[in-house]
Structures are given as C-alpha cells and as structure tokens.
Amino acid sequence: MATDTITIPGIEQPVTRIALGTWAIGGWMWGGPDDENAVRTIHRALDEGVNLIDTAPVYGFGHSEEVVGRALEGGRREKVVIATKLGLNWTQDHKVFRDSRPERVRDEVEQSLRRLKTDYLDLEQVHWPDGLTPVEDTAAELEKLHQEGKIRAVGVSNFSVADMEKFRAKVPLSTIQPPYNLFERGPTERDVLPYAHKHHAVVLAYGPLCRGLLAGKMTADSTFPKDDLRSMDPKFQPPRFRNYLAAVEDLKAFAEKRGKTVLSLAIRWVLDQGPTVALWGARKPAQIEGIRDALGWTLSKDELAEIDAILKRHVPDEIEPDFMAPPQRSA
C-alpha cells in the first residue's frame, strides 16, 4: 500500500507514520482485556502495513506487553519495531506512581524483554518524569542498557524541554511522546515540535483521536463507565461535551467535502504538523479500518486555516489533558 514512513534515529528500519497504540489492549481503564480480539487486532494492523507498535508495562500491568509478545510469535518480531516505556510503578491494588530510579529502569527493561519475548527493544521511552529521581540518573542507566545492546533507541514522554535537555546530555534522544490532537495542541506546538525539529527527534503523538472523540461516532447520549478514562476527562462532561461534538460535526462535514472521514482527517492533520507519528489506538480488528485513508495526501494551508476556524468557533479555550498525569512517588 502507499504509505508515509519516517526514520527514528538509532533504528535502521523506517517506520510507518501511523503506529498501533496498545493502551486499550491492556484493558486497564478501558473496560478489561479481550486477548483474542487483541491478537487479531495486532495482526490486522500488520496486514495493513503498520510496522510500529507502541506499548507500556502499565497498560494492564504487564498484560499489553504480554499480548504483543504473543501476537508477534511465529516470525513476525523481526518485521516490527517495538516501542515500550518505563518509569511508572504500581502498588498491589494498582495505584500507579512515577518511579524512574536506575534500579527500577534496569528491572523494567528486563521484564519488558521477557513479556515481549524478545532480546532487544527497538525503542525504550520514559513514560513520565520522576520528580524524586534526577533525570540524568535515569538517562545514564538507559545509556548503559543501550551500550549493552538491549535498547536500540531512547525516548521520553510527557517531559518538559528543561528535562529533555538534561536527559539528552546523557543519552541520545530519538523520540518525544506527547498528547497531541486537534483538541489538545498548546504545549506540543509551543515546546515539543520546535524541540524535535531542532534536535532531529521524532514526535510520537498519543491520543490523536482524543480518546475516540474524533472518530465521529459519539453522540450527546454517549456515556462512559467509571473504569473508563473518559469518565474523568472534562471534555466528555456536560456542558463542554456538546461543544466538542458540535466541532466534530463541522469537521466531519469539512472532511466529507474532500471525500474523507473525520477520523482520517484528524490523523492526517497530526501527520502534517511535522516529524510526527500518530499512535492509532485499537482493541478490535474493525477499529483498524481507515488507516489507509489517512495516508498519501496532505492538507493545504487554506484547509488548515479552515480547520482552525472551526475549532475556534466551537472550543476557543483548550482543555489540556492534565487529568492523565500520575502522582509522584512518596520519598
């Protein structure tokens, strides 16, 4: 298939600019796991040409990585670039907190290698900064693991520019992973994208569909159970929810004029913003449909301006996704 690709520094194999995100596959905060569907979903993404899979230990407390490892058995591993993360720990009752101590870094890498059934990680990312551990200490341990051949490239997620500078002084920084979509733009456009351009890093944009909002299938009657992340997201609560839905309807009409879906428009918009990869979250094979529609075309300057006007009309004040930040660990 015709596709967009990009090269992540430190990884020889070019990757598709749409990656499969596996948070939902882990089940935690998404209504529980469904492993058979998850494996079929991964295989469907590979069949569609996707060769980058993004996962993390905290996605189902190891479960997402285990499912990815299972899905890549039988000769698929060498064809795929695996991106995972570290830096989050949890209690026995699954209370998550930040933990990037060097000993934890090494332990997490070893556990990820085991769960993913591989002897190297293409990309290891620090999920959130740990305010009680010097950034330099975390980075130095990752550089050791890089030198040992267990990691091919290193990235960070949800980091400030100041922390990225400290991090990059100890280990090459290949990727940056922030939340980024049509409704959540500010910090990424202000800080992350300029930094990525300057230092030749690739931006892995998570949440490009804003937790399903930009898929175009929600209505004012949509509800979310307590264990669903969206039940805590202010965008999905009244009265703001109706404003976002109205914006989606106008974006849908705009996309249809181009013969596109609002979902493919939202992904294409992310890809047109710079050295970006969009993380496409899915837990069912049917949710892979539409990947091809987002590739092989671009938005013009006039079209980008029209999109901005739609957003300004319906949601002039951006709500940043701060609610997702896990707490710092206790000393």
pLDDT at 176 over 70: yes
Domain count, the chain: 1
Quick one: what percent of the chain has pLDDT higher than 70? 96
**189 in a domain, yes or no?**
yes
pLDDT at 104 over 70: yes
> Which pLDDT score, from 0 to 100, does residue 150 have?
98
**49 in a domain, yes or no?**
yes
Tens of pLDDT along 116-158? 999 999 999 999 999 999 999 999 999 999 999 999 999 999 9
**239 in a domain, yes or no?**
no
| HSE value, Cβ hemisphere, 13 Å, CA-based, for 288 | 21
Q: How confident is the model at residue 298 (pLDDT cuts 50, 70, 90)?
A: very high
> Which pLDDT score, from 0 to 100, does residue 27 have?
56
**222 in a domain, yes or no?**
no
- 17-21, 29-33, 303-307: which range is least confident on average? 29-33
> Which pLDDT score, from 0 to 100, does residue 2 have?
36
State both tokens at 137.
Answer: 């200490």
pLDDT, mean over the chain:
93
Which of 59, 180, 195, 244 is the catalytic position? 59
CATH code (residue 93): 3.20.20.100
**77 in a domain, yes or no?**
yes
CA distance between the termini of the chain: 51
What DSSP line would sit under 232-273, residue for residue? G-GGGSTTHHHHHHHHHHHHHHHHHHTT--HHHHHHHHHHTT
Tens of pLDDT along 225-276? 887 878 889 999 999 999 999 999 999 999 999 999 999 999 999 999 999 9
**242 in a domain, yes or no?**
no
Which residue range is the domain that position 145 belongs to? 12-212+262-298
Q: How many CB atoms lie within 10 A of CB 327?
A: 10
Number of alpha helices (DSSP H) and beta strands (DSSP E) in the chain: 11, 12
Kindly report whether the global pTM for this prediction surpasses the value 0.85.
yes
59 has catalytic annotation: yes
